[in-house]
Structure 1
Amino acid sequence: MFDDVQLRRAVALRRDLHQHPELKFEEHRTAGKVAEGLRDLGYAVREGIARTGVLAELDTGRPGPVIALRADMDALPIEEANDLAHRSAHAGRMHACGHDGHTAALMLAAETIMQCREHLSGHLKLIFQPAEEGGNGAERMIQEGVLDAPRVEAIFGYHNRPGFESGMLFVKPGSAMGGNDTYRVIVQGRSGHAAMPHLAVDPIYVGTSIVQQLQGLTARHKSPLRAGVITVAAFHAGDAANVIPGEAELLVNIRNDGDEVREALAGHLEQVVAGVCNAHGAGYRIEQLHHVPPLVNDPEWSELVLKVGRDRGVARRIEKVDTMPTMGAEDFAFYLREVPGCFFFVGNGEEGAYLHNDRYEFNDEILPVAAGTFVALVDALMGQEA
């Protein structure tokens, strides 16, 4: 499907992006290279969507479906520990999740798709999205109309997955990645002397009680057949050994595999906090800091990805999995709440560091599998013999 020149060019782009990582909503260089490359290929290109996003469109002029493919572009605020020729040239920033590879794969697919444009019908949108890492860039892109005019009928994206066989293509129909809710909980006590706790309201004691009670939600409110977890990721209070502080701050992260579990966990957060605080005469304040819905693949489109992959031989091993491969969140979920589609996975290799690790490295050998799946989907859905 791809010749050696194309693959070398894709690897060179991937490594260039890796060497020049940019954080959420700062992907100016990346977006510029993407936009320039897509214009050179003949796509109609819009820049500056959701600040640094890029939308490329191919209108074949023939009636047919409206299909979208998406890649994310942002890096993470991590100092790279790899000793690579193309290691990050910017202190404190690296592509520790493989978005450099996601971008390079879609650019590789874009080239082959354009070469086949005379055999396609319908309208294709290529979405290069900023700020997947904590910025809800997908939500911003949707708000700024990337799915509209013409309205997208199906959307596809992918993520590399360390710990799985290199180049393995796999799909989880239904719930495939976790929803993510992050809250700041402020426990408002009353300051006092450590020797006279009865004259104070100890927010540390109240806060630790909240930590314990929250785990009861996962144990007794969530079905054991569903996935969900509550993590208190930070607890800050006080700075003197003989003083009971006036406040304590907790950062609470709640993961879920669907709306039912989200309601069982996040839906009862305030009830637990209020109950514990009221029992001890403390006040509280809860602020929601971040929300990403669970990523739920459409079963029919998931089966299509598997069928197309097998029919066109895009990978040596293609599997449908029954269990969620991760509770990590992915803002592609926002697209799937608007239109049906599928977010598939490509194994990054069974060895090597996991995502968001300072020694993570995208496996360039999987570029033709990811890009090939995109091309195969476009051919199957937009090909004039489809």
Structure 2
Amino acid sequence: MFTDKQIHNATAMRHTLHQYPELKYEETQTARRVADRLRSLGYRVTEGIATTGILAELDTGREGPVIAFRADMDALPIREANTFGHRSKHEGLMHACGHDGHTATLLLAAEAIMERRDQLCGHLKLIFQPAEEGGNGAEAMVKAGVLENPEVEAVFGYHNRPGFPEGQLFVKPGPAMGGNDTYKVTIEGASGHAAMPHLAVDPIYVGASLVQQLQGLVARHKSPLESGVITVASFHAGDAANVIPGSAELLVNIRSDRPSSREALTGKLEQVTKGVCDAHGARFRLEHIHQVPPLANDPEWSDRVLALASEYEVSDDIQKLDYMPTMGAEDFAFYLQKVPGCFFFVGNGNSAYLHNEHYDFNDRILPVAGGMFVALACSLLAHR
């Protein structure tokens, strides 16, 4: 499906992207490289979408479906510990989730698809989005209209997965990745002397009680047949050993696998917080500071992806999972809320895990992931 030269060039591009990581909504240099490459291949390119996003389009001029493929471009604020030649040159920034590989994958596929344009009909959109890491870049791209004019009928993307066999292509129909809701809880008590707690309202005690009570939502309000977890990731209060502080701040992170589990956990958060605070005479403020919906693959498109992976011999190891491979969130879910499609996975082998200072994308999986995109384009846009 790809020549050795194409794979070599895609690997070189991946290494270049890895050396020059950029944070969410700051991917200017990355976007410039991507746009230049796409123009050289013959795509119609629109830059600056949702700040730094790119939309590349192939209009075959023949009637047919409209489909979209997506890659993410942003990096993370992590100091890289690797020592190989393509390690990050931007100190304190790192492609620790493989977005450099995802971008290089879609550029590799874009080249092979353009070579086959005479065999295709319809319209292909390639979405290179910013800010997947906590910036809801997909939501911003959707709001900017990348799924419209013409209206996209199916959308596809992927993520590499450390801990799964190298090159294994797998799909989880239905709920496939967790939703992510983050709340800031501010508890207002009454400060006082550590030796006289009865004259104060201790927000640390109230907050500790809340931490315990929140686990009851997972154990007793969410169905045991659904997935979800609540983590209190931050708890800040006080700075002196002999003073009960007046307030405390908690960051509560809630993961869920579908709308019903999300509602069971987020829907009662305010009620539980109010009950705990009322019981001890404290007040509270609840701020919803970040939200990504659960990612749910369309079952029919999931089966179609698996069938095409086999038909086009994309991988020697193709699997249909009956369990969620991760509760990690992925803002590709915003595309799937608007358009049916499938987010597939490719095993990265026995590498360090995502968001780790020793992680690196496995270049050997580029032809597998890129091949899946080419197979989708060749089948769904086949000129008959």
Query: Shorter-chain TM-score: what band?
Result: over 0.9
Mapped to 1, the partners of 2:225 and 2:340 lie a distance apart of 25
Equivalent residue number for residue 193 of structure 1: 193
Mapped to 2, the partners of 1:83 and 1:34 lie a distance apart of 26
Mapping of residues 53-202 of structure 1, within 5 Å: 53-202=53-202
Mapping of residues 249-288 of structure 1, within 5 Å: 249-288=249-288
Mapped to 2, the partners of 1:173 and 1:96 lie a distance apart of 26
Equivalent residue number for residue 381 of structure 2: 382
Shift of 1:318: 0.4
* CA-to-aligned-CA distance 1:132-178 (integer Å, 9 cap, x gap): 00000000000000000000000000000000000000000000000
* CA-to-aligned-CA distance 1:268-307 (integer Å, 9 cap, x gap): 1000100000000000001111000000000000000000
Equivalent residue number for residue 369 of structure 2: 370
Mapped to 2, the partners of 1:203 and 1:367 lie a distance apart of 51
Mapping of residues 192-231 of structure 1, within 5 Å: 192-231=192-231
TM-score by length of 2: 1.00
Equivalent residue number for residue 324 of structure 2: 324
* CA-to-aligned-CA distance 1:115-137 (integer Å, 9 cap, x gap): 10011000000000000000000
Shift of 1:384: 1.2
Shift of 1:112: 0.6
Tell me, yes or no, if structure 1 residue 21 matches structure 2 residue 33: no
* CA-to-aligned-CA distance 1:83-132 (integer Å, 9 cap, x gap): 11000001110000000000000000000100100110000000000000
Equivalent position SS for 2:268: helix
Shift of 1:206: 0.2
Equivalent position SS for 1:319: strand
Fraction of identical pairs, as percent? 71
Equivalent position SS for 1:100: helix
Shift of 1:224: 1.0
Mapped to 1, the partners of 2:274 and 2:94 lie a distance apart of 41
Mapped to 2, the partners of 1:268 and 1:101 lie a distance apart of 39
Mapped to 2, the partners of 1:268 and 1:65 lie a distance apart of 43
Paired residue type of 2:363: D
Equivalent residue number for residue 359 of structure 2: 360
Unaligned runs of 5+ in 1: none
Mapped to 2, the partners of 1:257 and 1:347 lie a distance apart of 21
Equivalent position SS for 1:369: helix
Mapped to 1, the partners of 2:370 and 2:22 lie a distance apart of 23
Paired residue type of 1:196: M
Mapped to 2, the partners of 1:312 and 1:161 lie a distance apart of 22
Mapped to 2, the partners of 1:88 and 1:94 lie a distance apart of 6
Mapped to 2, the partners of 1:88 and 1:114 lie a distance apart of 31
Shift of 1:45: 0.3
Mapped to 2, the partners of 1:176 and 1:267 lie a distance apart of 22
Equivalent residue number for residue 314 of structure 2: 314
Shift of 1:225: 1.1
Runs of 4+ in 1 over 2 A off after TM superposition: none
Paired residue type of 2:227: A
RMSD (Å), alpha carbons? 0.4
TM-score by length of 1: 0.99
Mapped to 1, the partners of 2:239 and 2:376 lie a distance apart of 58
Tell me, yes or no, if structure 1 residue 232 matches structure 2 residue 232: yes
Shift of 1:210: 0.2
Paired residue type of 1:311: E
Mapped to 1, the partners of 2:261 and 2:88 lie a distance apart of 39
Tell me, yes or no, if structure 1 residue 42 matches structure 2 residue 42: yes
Equivalent residue number for residue 304 of structure 1: 304
Unaligned runs of 5+ in 2: none
Paired residue type of 1:68: A
Mapped to 2, the partners of 1:120 and 1:262 lie a distance apart of 41
Shift of 1:188: 0.3
Mapped to 1, the partners of 2:158 and 2:351 lie a distance apart of 20
Shift of 1:48: 0.1
Mapped to 2, the partners of 1:106 and 1:251 lie a distance apart of 36
Paired residue type of 2:109: A
Mapped to 2, the partners of 1:67 and 1:195 lie a distance apart of 67
Mapped to 1, the partners of 2:337 and 2:363 lie a distance apart of 31
